[in-house]
Structure 1
C-alpha cells in the first residue's frame, strides 16, 4: 500500500512500526482474545499498559520521582482551564507569555478563572520570534508563568527556557514534547496533547511537581482536579484506553531508536533540509519565523502571491504530499516534521521545493 507523505500539523504521522504492531495486536492483545479497545480499564492487561506507559515516559524524559504523570482527556484546550483552576491561588495572578494563537487561547481561558496577565508578548512582530526573558514583567503575586514551547501556526520554538523564576513555570508542550531532552527541574507543570509527537488524539499527558498538587482545591469537580487524577493513577473514570496503548507503542519505538537525544538529532537534520531550501531560494520562499526562533517541528513559509501558493500546494498534493497548507488564520505553507516523519520524506519535500522554484 502506498503511504502518503504526511506533513499534517496534528493529528500527525505515526511511526509505521507502531501502526504495524498495533495492526498485529488489533484483534488479540497478548492472547486475551480481545483488542485493547475492548479491554476493561480495570483489567490486569490494561493496568499493565497504563503502568508501562508511565514508566516509559519517566525513563525517556528523565522525570524525577517528585513529579506525577497523568493521562487525561480533553486535549491541551482543557488544560487551558485546568491549570488556572488548580494552580491559580486566591488573591494572586497568573502570568502568560504570548507567542501565538494557542498562548492567546490559554490566557483567555485563565481570565475566566481569575486574574491572568501578559508577562511578555511578540504579537507586535506578528509572532515571528520568542520574547527575551529580559523583557518579562511578572507580578510579585504571580502563581505561575505559562509558556507555549512550540508554536505550530507561526513556526517558532523556545530553544532555551526561563530559569530562576520567582514562580513555577508551566508549559504547553503539545507540539514538541519528546523531541529533545528536558531539564524537568525547570518546570512546575508540563502538559501535551498526544496527537503530534506522542500518538493519536485522545490522551493528554500532564507532568506535575508533587508540591503543586497541593494547590488543587477540594471543591473542584473531581474530573478537573489534579489531586484526584493522581490518586487514582489516571483511572478515576474510563480513560482513553486505545490512545494510551498507542502512546506506549510510540514510547517503545522512541526508546528502540536511541531515546530523546537521537530524536533531537534527527529532528535537527530534517528541519535543516527545509530551512536550507528556503534560505537558498533567493527570496522565492520566505520563512515566517526569525532564524533564532525557528521551530524544528513546524517549518512555516510563504511564496510571492496567492496564485503561486495555490499552484505549489496543488502540485505538492499531486505528488503525494499531504498537509502543507498553512493554518487557516495565517495562510502560506507549513511542513510539520514531527518525530514520526521519516527523513526520506523530508528529503523528497526539499527536492520538490527546489524543483518547483526552478520551474517558476
Structure 2
C-alpha cells in the first residue's frame, strides 16, 4: 500500500483519535528536546524538574478550562476507562451493604456495571432495553437514595447515544464517564462527585486518564484497592506515585494549549454542534437511504452512527461506502463490530471543513447509488 500524506487524510477513528497537526509537530520537537533541555520527553525522568513542571502546568490548564472548584483534585492516572471501572467502586462504595446505581445506556456503561458487581451490589437505574437508542424518561428511573454513587456514561461511542442533560441524583454523588466528549461542551463540575476521561479521544493520546474528584470522596478506598488506583495515594503524590505515562501527559498538555488557542470549550462546543448537524441533516433528508437509529434527543455530537441503504443497512452498499470514502482519504468510518454500519467520530480535532467534506461525500454517494437501494 502506497504511503499517504498525513495532511490529505481525515481520521474519523473513534479512539485513539485524530490529534491536531500543530500538536503533532510540537510532539515531534519534544521527542528531541523539551524546553531547550537537550533531553526529549521519551527519556525525561518523571522526577525531573522538567516533568514536574509539565505535570503541574497540565493540571493547572485543566482546572482553568473547566473552572474546577478548589475542593476537587485533578489526578492523571493509569489504566484507561477500564481501570476506572474498578477504581470507582473500590474508592467510593461504603457501608455494610454497599450499593451503587448505574445507568446502562450502551456498551461502556454496561461493562462498567459488570465490573462494579465484583465489589458491590449494582442497581440498574433503567429498565432493560432491547437496543440502545436513547434514555428512558425519568419517570422510569429507579434510583436508590442509599447508593454510594450514581454512575453514567455521558457519551456512548459504540451506539452514538449522548446525555445532553445532567441526571438529577439528589444528594447521592454523581459519577460520570466523559471519555468521549470531554472538553467538547461546558460542564458545571460542582454537580459531580467524580468525572473521568481517557485522553485518547478528545484531548490527547492513549496512556493517561484524567480523574476530577471531590475531596470528601477521597481517602475511603477499600483495603483491597491496588495502590495505583487509590485516589488518596495519587492525590498525595501529585499523580506521581510511580512512573506515569510521561509522554501521554506531555501530549495532553499540548492539546490543552491548542484548545485554549482555538477559543476554549465554548469554541469546541460551537464546532461540535456544527459538525454533527451537517451529517445528521444529510441522514434525515435522505428519504431513508441513510438511517440513524438513535432518537433525536439523544444523538451524539461526537459519534454519528448510521446505516447505508435503509434501516438494516445494505452490506454491499456499506462496503462500497467504506471503500470510496477511503479513496478520498476519509478513514475509520466503519461502525463497531457489535452493531455494524457506519460511525463518524467528530472529536475536537476534526475541523468543520473536514466534516463538510464527509457531508459532501455522503450526498454524492447517495446520488450515485440510490437506485441500488
The counterpart of 2:353, out of the listed 337, 344, 360, is: 344
Q: Are positions 1:228 and 2:233 aligned together?
A: yes
Of the three residues 98, 107, 116, the one matched with 2:122 is: 116
- Give, in angstroms, the shift of residue 288 of structure 1: 2.0
| Aligned equivalent of 1:316 | 325
Q: CA deviation at 1:131?
A: 2.8
2:209 is the counterpart of 1:204: yes
Q: What's 1:106 paired with?
A: 112
- More moved, 311-320 vs 76-85: 311-320
Report the Cα distance in structure 2 between the residues aligned to 1:121 and 1:198, rounded to whole angstroms.
33
TM-aligned CA distance change 1:97 to 1:28, over 3 Å: same
Q: State how far apart, in whole Å, the 2-side matches of 1:47 and 1:344 are.
A: 37
The structure 2 residue matched to 1:329, chosen from 338, 343, 348, is 338
**Secondary structure of residue in 1 paired with 2:32:** coil
Counterpart pick for 1:37 among 39, 42, 45: 42
Aligned residues of 2:127 and 2:140 also touching (Cα < 8 A): no
Alpha-carbon separation, structure 2, partners of 1:2 and 1:143: 47
Query: What stretches of structure 1 of length at least 5 have no aligned partner?
Result: none
Report the Cα offset of residue 121 of structure 1: 4.6
Alpha-carbon offset, residue 26 of structure 1: 2.1
Deviation at 1:32, TM superposition (A): 1.0
Q: 1:125-174 CA distances to partner (integer Å, 9 max, x unpaired)?
A: x1101233332211232100000000111111010101352310001111
Match of 2:298 in 1: 293
Q: What secondary structure, in the 3-state scheme, does the structure 1 residue paired with 2:135 have? A: coil
Change (3 A) 1:211 1:355: same
CA contact (8 A) 1:99 1:121 kept: no
Residue 271 of structure 1: aligned partner:
276
Per-residue deviation, 1:224: 1.9
Cα distance, 1:244–1:121 mapped onto 2, change above 3 Å = farther
- Matched with 1:242 is 247
Deviates more, 1:17-26 or 1:170-179: 17-26
Unaligned runs of 5+ in 2: none
Per-residue deviation, 1:65 = 0.6
Q: TM-score, normalised by structure 1?
A: 0.97
Kept in 2, the 8 Å contact 1:303–1:332? The answer is: yes
Query: Of residues 55, 60, 71 in structure 1, which corresponds to 2:60?
Result: 55
TM-score, length-scaled by structure 2: 0.94
Give the total of aligned pairs. 359
